[in-house]
Structure 1
Amino acid sequence: MLPLDTFKSIIKNTPLVSIDLVVYNQKGEVLLGKRNNRPAQGYWFVPGGRILKDESMAEAFKRLTLNELGTEFTILDAQLIGPFDHFYTNNLTGEDFSTHYVALGYRLTIDDELLALPTKQHNDYNWFGVEQLLEHPQVHKHTRWYFEPYAKQTVLRRKFLK
């Protein structure tokens, strides 16, 4: 890990690259954790984290799934949803500067009985239906963005079926 002053300078001056894990169970529900830390503290959010310097995306994926889900998965177990810009007005230090992530969203379908969910980054976990998370006021907008294509398809389906 970097010294805090170095990391603060990076957050203040550059975007961070991360992997977000859009985790589905066998019922089609999505795993969200309530964030312990800034940014997005107190919101329901998908698990994930930063890619470290000199760490491949494949290695970061293994590390992040182990750290965030309690079980290691490979990047080959997932499907890339795409890149997303996440802009926050605050940062992990509480000092007055913003955070910018370039988040690579990956969809992962798992057997939820395999998970041993840690509490370092999230103090609570819940499985949400997609429509439920799209309407929930404490689900962070950056998490909702992963499901907007679903929401648009659902609206179109409802209009077509009328």
Structure 2
Amino acid sequence: MWLDLPTFNTVVASTPLVAIDLVVRNARGEVLLGLRVNRPAYGFWFVPGGRIQKNEHLDNAFRRITRDELGQPFERAEARLLGVYEHFYDDSVFANAGAGPNTHYVVLGYCLDLAEGQTLQPPTEQHQHYRWWSEDELRISPRVHEHTRAYF
């Protein structure tokens, strides 16, 4: 269940958010990143991902997030847990409306390896462009957000 904006603003200001981030690799070992269009991390290249909803089981959240972020659902059993990460941001989705709260995420990072020839059709709601990056390139690019680089 998604919260109305005033309630969500209170949640962001008061508690950490729990999310799943997706390190998606193609058969060549390249990683899919999207150019963020929303805060936090606006204007940076970032891995796809999303928040887990209240009372949503992890398997259901993984299916929904992969469908929403990659254009098709995947099962959590198809991925490998990389670990638990903390992301702290000085801004939030509410920064465009004036002085909003900062944001704290607790993130479950997963690696999802695509099969040879498998393609994705990711939507452009959270990321305006997508591109495949080599690990070497994304590790040194200042345009790739530090929280994404931490997965490598």
CA distance in 1, matches of 2:149, 2:61: 23
Decide whether the 8 Å contact of 2:139 with 2:149 is kept in 1.
Answer: yes
Decide whether the 8 Å contact of 2:33 with 2:130 is kept in 1.
Answer: yes
Do residues 2 (structure 1) and 8 (structure 2) align? Answer: no
Moved over 2 A (4+): 111-114
Equivalent in the alignment of 1:135:
140
Structure 1 residues 60-96: Cα deviation after superposition (integer angstroms, max 9, x where no partner): 0000000000011000000000000000000001133
Q: CA deviation at 1:110?
A: 1.0
Of the structure 1 ranges 2-11 and 109-118, higher mean CA displacement relative to structure 2 is found in: 109-118
Structure 1 residues 101-140: Cα deviation after superposition (integer angstroms, max 9, x where no partner): 0010000001464311100010000100001000111000
Q: CA deviation at 1:18?
A: 0.1
SS in 1 for 2:150: helix
CA distance in 1, matches of 2:10, 2:77: 33
Decide whether the 8 Å contact of 1:36 with 1:42 is kept in 2.
Answer: yes
CA distance in 2, matches of 1:45, 1:24: 14
Given the alignment, which residue of 107, 111, 126 partners 1:107? 111
SS in 1 for 2:151: helix
SS in 1 for 2:100: coil
SS in 1 for 2:56: coil
SS in 2 for 1:17: strand
The residue type paired with residue 19 of structure 1 is I
Length, aligned pairs only: 147
Decide whether the 8 Å contact of 2:78 with 2:112 is kept in 1.
Answer: yes
In terms of fraction of residues, the more helix-rich structure is: 1
Larger radius of gyration: 1
Cα RMSD (Å) of the superposition? 0.9
Task: Give the TM-score of the pair, scaled to structure 2.
Answer: 0.94
Task: Give the TM-score of the pair, scaled to structure 1.
Answer: 0.89
CA distance in 2, matches of 1:93, 1:118: 22
